[in-house]
Structure 1
Amino acid sequence: SAKYFSGTGVYSTSLTTPKLSAGETACLRFEAVHEIARVTFAGKPVATTWAAPYEACLHGPLPESGVLEVAVTNLWHNRRVGDAVDPATKQTKSNITLPSPDEPLLPSGLKGGVEWRIYRGQP
């Protein structure tokens, strides 16, 4: 079940870049990332972010548009809780004791909005 997923999920969308003046840098700011995100744009690596502010800055001449991909990897915790809830469908093996089936799940993936931030020079 997706509820107990642990691993990497990829978000993908077509994106139009902002028009920049000389000396400006465009950054995508993510409201929240759980736990680490690898950002690519137009097939090129942009940034890896895991701490606030969650930003990925695009440098150099930008294409007018391209595909934005954000690969977000979460923690193992949610999968381990899922294994505790239904041991018959257990997907992990470890010498670590399973958490309680009542253990709260941790947030995972991208949460909240994404916006462009334009900076003069380097952020």
Structure 2
Amino acid sequence: MFTVIAYGLAIVVIALVALIGLRFLLAPRTAAVGYGVSAKENGDSAYLTIKGLRDFTLSLLGAALLAFSGPHAAGWYMLVGAIIPLGDVLIVLRHGGSRAVAFGIHFATAVVLLISAALLFAL
């Protein structure tokens, strides 16, 4: 049962990162609002596309590690990957975004990644 929970949480995290990446690729301005910092109307949307590609690619990397490597490699992926949402907290706060989004979405995501890492390391 513990193995199912550890792998299940990792799969959910990876799938959500893929969906976030796809959202930034398909609806970048809408996704930016959900991220916590609205994109400027006349701004360069290339940066939003970069975020989408980054997130989608990272989800594929996580899926590959989970499928073709052991739980410890996937645990390291989750542990190191937690840096991204922690950085996102700072970005949202620094650019006038909502504290609720910064902590309720990005910080909570980092915590879930750390929990996932701990579960995978325990296998």
Same fold? TM cut 0.5:
no
Q: Judging by fraction of residues, say which structure has more strand.
A: 1
Radius of gyration: which is bigger? 1
TM-score, normalized by length of structure 2? 0.29
Kindly indicate whether structure 1 or structure 2 has the higher relative contact order, using CA contacts under 8 Å at least 6 residues apart: 1
